[in-house]
Amino acid sequence: MQAYVYKSLRKADTYVYLATRDDFARLPEPLRTQLGALQFVLEVALTPERKLALEDAGVVRENLSQRGFHLQFPPTVDDPMKEDWGTDA
């Protein structure tokens, strides 16, 4: 399965995978409004062996099959101050 990946020019580190290139009609209108302009960045074959850096390729394939799109949000950043730094005296 081919996927076409676009980045949001309004929302940093937010990407949309589409099953069909430039098929933005698949995206719900409120989502299109929030994402703003989308810029094409990558065409990728989502084979069962394919590994993606931040997403589960199986989940992406399933969403593309069912909805025609997959939305990738920015990774969450944990608060480093909550971490045990081992500095207790």
Average model confidence (pLDDT) across the chain: 88
Confidence tier at 4 by pLDDT (50, 70, 90)? very high
The reported pLDDT for the residue numbered 10 is 94
**Which whole number is the average pLDDT over 5-32?**
95
* Whole-angstrom distance, CA of residue 41 vs CA of residue 17: 10
The reported pLDDT for the residue numbered 78 is 61
The whole model's pTM is what? 0.81
Does the pLDDT of residue 27 top 80, yes or no? yes
